[in-house]
Amino acid sequence: MSQDNTIPPAAPEAEMSVLAAMLMDNSVIAAVRGILASGDFYASANREIYAVILDLHAAGGAADIVLLENALRRRGTLDDVGGMEYLTRIAESAPSAANAVHHARLVREFSQRRRIQALGHRLVRMGGDGFEADALAAITAELQAASEPSLTGGAVLRRMADVEPEEIHWLWPGRIALGKLTLLVGDPGLGKSFLTLDMAARVSRGRPWPDHPGAPGERGAVILLSAEDDAPDTIRPRLDAAEADVTRIFLLEAVTKLDGEGGTARRMFCLQADLPELERAIERESDVRLVVVDPISAYLGGADSHKNADIRGLLAPLSDLAARHKIALVAVSHFNKASGASPMYRTMGSLAFTAAARAVWCVSREKDNPERRLLLPIKNNLAKDGTGLAYSLQESPDHPGVAVVAWEPEPVTVTAEEALRNESEGERGDSPIEDAEAWLREALSDGPLPSKDVLRIARENGHSERTLRRAKKAVGIVVYRDGFGAGATWYWRLPGAEDCQKREDCHTPDVATFGKSGNLWSDDEEREAIQAEGSGKL
């Protein structure tokens, strides 16, 4: 018996199960978001609920049925989605969050089927009413995209004979490519922001790059995301000193969202939730050639900068955006404190930052001349030239008190590894334990971290467990347990931070800070505790 083609294909139970799983376990939200858009839900109530859950998550908070109800009520859409009765039905529709991704893929598949059905109806109408060639070509392309194998299974193969070769197009020849993500890293205070504003000024005027003085570039617009510098007293004066065309440079200060009460709420831009807003800004200013995110860590939203999966999920759509619009995307980051590690592992946070970027450039001081800065390649997958450049910051003759970047014309051949090693030996001279102490203070500056994560991230940053534990003792790190039995998790926190006894989520105040001996947990006690974690022995 054939299916009734007048009824759009849908999977209402799968839609409700996806929403239930997201409310039950917020850790699946990122994975579901990578599969589904709001429009993939057939039921309008489910589309609204999904959008609100994503907003709650992007704001850095939890998403549960109570918070969801309050958010819908503020937006004035609680009754539209069926009220608390429907939210309760959703919450009870999935016994666990284990199948969230499978159900999300099923919802996506039915969404694809509806698109194919709608396109088929349009083709039938065109067959009866007549058509233009361009309209037919557009529908055919949509049909091809919609009929690709669904996310529930099937390999998508592309014959390489069908791929048209393309040349790499450059913003800065050999150094920063259009359509790609480039990372600029270095210690604070070396002038990374001066560099990005120098780039912005050159792009806004179409001025030559420092190592290509006779080759003017293509003029274009620039969008800046700057979380650390103020526009009136820092960014604008530096752009003026760099002779920028400030009519072509835009600062993305915030995004606005409807607050459900007829007004708008203003908040900081978030890469996790607001990429569509950035894309609309790029499309509105049609000649954008450069987007700068400085520093990228300030715009991660709820993503964990130390988790590879979180960062890959965040950077992949960002890189896709750069490719679609043929813009150069430059993200700024800082070095971690692992001074003895390879430069490839020095970028703060997950290694996924370095892996996702097609080029990574570092800024370092020269050992014998700290005023001379070096811009050196850590990684460049797109060009053969492995040389760097040197520059210094000098006061602008036309803008007293404001520095500009003064480039040297000749390339430098020192490698990033040599420069960073020289810098470490010449200036800091820290021992491995001192480096580990500094790294611990920085890693825990935003709050406690699970013990397992601290040890894992430390290894990734070049610190041995033995060195880290000696640094832990020197810093006075406090170890405590949150929860009982299989649900217990062990944490490290800085001394003087909020006492665990005052934490509402700490269920064991009597053993939270002190071990069996009545002192801070010893390393042996902590190792024993971590080994027993999740076994129910605690």
Write down the pLDDT at residue 34: 80
For the ranges 100-114, 151-165, 506-520, which has the lowest average pLDDT?
506-520
Each residue's pLDDT tens digit, 139-164: 666 655 555 544 444 555 667 877 78
pLDDT at 501: 37
Listed residue (400, 401, 377, 404) closest to 388, CA to CA: 377
- Indicate whether 330 pLDDT > 90: yes
Work out the pLDDT band at 296, boundaries 50, 70, 90.
Answer: very high
> What is the rounded CA–CA span in Å between residue 292 and residue 204?
13
Beta carbons of 461 and 439 less than 8 angstroms apart: yes
Cα separation, 5 vs 8, whole angstroms = 7
**pLDDT digit string, tens, across residues 95-106:** 777 788 888 889
Q: Is the pLDDT of residue 307 over 80?
A: no
Predicted local confidence at residue 514, as pLDDT: 38
Which residues have CB under 8 Å from 259's CB, separation 6+? 74, 75, 265
In the predicted structure, residue 173 carries a pLDDT above the cut 50: yes
Measure the CA dihedral 232/233/234/238, to 10°: 90
Backbone phi, then psi, for 258, in 5-degree steps?
-65, 135
Residues 493 and 451 sit within 8 Å (Cβ to Cβ): no
When pLDDT is averaged across residues 230-237 and rounded to a whole number, the result is: 93
Instruction: Give CA torsion, residues 401, 403, 409, 414, to 10 deg.
Output: 130
Question: Does this model's pTM top 0.75?
Answer: no
* Amino acid 116: pLDDT: 81
Q: How many angstroms separate the CA atoms of 379 and 354, rounded?
A: 8
For the chain, what percent of residues have pLDDT higher than 90? 29
Pick the more confident residue, 335 or 178: 178
246 has a pLDDT exceeding 90: yes
Confidence of residue 429 (pLDDT cuts 50, 70, 90): very low
Closest CA to 224 of 151, 367, 327, 109: 327
Banded model confidence at residue 484, pLDDT cuts 50, 70, 90: low
